[in-house]
Amino acid sequence: MASRPIILGIVGDSAAGKTTLTRGIAQILGEDQVTTICTDDYHRYDRQQRKEIGISAVHPDCNYIDIIQQHLGLLRTGQPILKPIYNHDTGKFDPPEYIFPRRFVIVEGLLGYYTRAARDSYDVKVYLAPPESLRAHWKIKRDTRKRGYTDEQVLAQLKQREPDSEAFIRPQRQWADVVVTFYPPNDGNGDQDDLLLNVRLVLRPTIPHPDFTHLLDDKNSHLGDAIRLELDRDMGKPVDVLGIDSRANAQQVQELERTLCNEIPYLGQFCSLEGNEDIGKVVGTTGEILQSYPLALTQLLITYHMLKAANIYK
């Protein structure tokens, strides 16, 4: 059993779904077992200062990358940190708080993989990469409902930040063990339902994934093409890709769950296998209830990796 905290990184651009996924995973691990940290707290400038300087929140110079790195090192060895707090309501900083790491630590944010030392601190690294059209839809929804912006302001901010997103956020995809892409089945018709998203999971050979090879064998698999394992390339490197469609049925989902639970029986209680009807249910950051098999299986796979890293909950 690991005696230090297990650290999961969830990185992606603004409104890529980091907080939502973090919540779902914390639910499975048990809220009292998890410390969650959002690296927005490490912004160097408040909202007014950013406006005056003309720098975007996604630029590394706008964030205390060195302190994120130092805090990751402390958390990894089980030590507390004095963490700043950025307040999204006021656009300013609140007094800092002491954070003591629990057994599992989830660090979510924009630039978590920017430096090598930071990257080396995680046990499992996830990158969220929804299509840009879906991210814009999510960001408009979240920032207008929760952060007091208008549609026009959000669209203008997305446009203004695009060069920094391209230069600093998206390249971090290369460092992830798992790249998660939720996407609408009929991409591009603009009429998508957030409960009916498919998921594409890029599985890099940087950590040992569950043995999904039976999905390759059509004869033994009952999964049809709603759940499939494919070989592909991501940023030029060979990867496995697990695809899960929202139209996958309960029987197909259970077969995949069995693969995960065979190795980690603890996960069973969060699967539809044991009749859990709340599988994958999570409250989104705008208060809506999200529940789908692709979301549930994504949460389970990432939790599987954290439990494997901890070597507990067999």
Ligand X SMILES: Nc1ncnc2c1ncn2[C@@H]1O[C@H](COP(=O)(O)OP(=O)(O)OP(=O)(O)O)[C@@H](O)[C@H]1O
Ligand Y SMILES: O=C(CO)[C@H](O)[C@H](O)COP(=O)(O)O
Cβ 272 to ligand Y shortest distance, Å:
32
Instruction: Based on the shown chain and the rule CB under 6 A, indicate whether residue 14 belongs to the binding site for ligand Y.
Output: yes
Q: What is the DSSP letter of 208?
A: P
Q: How far apart are CA 314 and CA 219, in angstroms?
A: 30
Q: How far apart are CA 102 and CA 246, in angstroms?
A: 34
For ligand Y, the binding residues in 31-50 under the rule CB under 6 A are 40, 47
Two tokens, residue 54: 């003309």
For ligand Y, the binding residues in 115-174 under the rule CB under 6 A are 147
260 CB-near residues (< 8 Å, 6+ apart): 210, 267, 271, 300, 301, 304
Residue 16 or 261: which CB sits closer to ligand X?
A: 16
Two tokens, residue 187: 């991409």
19 binds, among ligand Y, ligand X, none (CB under 5 to 8 A by kind): ligand X
For ligand X, the binding residues in 127-186 under the rule CB under 6 A are 138, 141-142, 182
Residue 14 or 299: which CB sits closer to ligand Y?
A: 14
Cβ 157 to ligand Y shortest distance, Å:
7
293 binds, among ligand Y, ligand X, none (CB under 5 to 8 A by kind): none
Residue 183 or 266: which CB sits closer to ligand X?
A: 183
**For residue 176, how far is the Cα from the chain centroid?**
11
Residue 48 or 186: which CB sits closer to ligand Y?
A: 48
Q: Given candidates 30, 77, 88, 274, which one binds ligand Y under the rule CB under 6 A?
A: 88
Instruction: Based on the shown chain and the rule CB under 6 A, indicate whether residue 204 belongs to the binding site for ligand X.
Output: no
Q: Is 26 left (phi over 0), alpha (psi -120 to 50) or beta?
A: alpha
Interface with ligand X by CB under 6 A: which range of 118-126, 209-217, 218-226, 287-295? 287-295
263 binds, among ligand X, ligand Y, none (CB under 5 to 8 A by kind): none
Helix or strand holding residue 178 (H, E): strand 178-183
Nearest partner of 195 among 20, 14, 30, 28, judged by Cα: 20
Q: What is the DSSP letter of 172?
A: G
Residue type, 107: V
Query: Using CB under 6 A as the criterion, which residues of the chain lie in contact with ligand X when the complex forms?
Result: 12, 14-20, 138, 141-142, 182, 194, 197, 284-286, 288, 290, 295
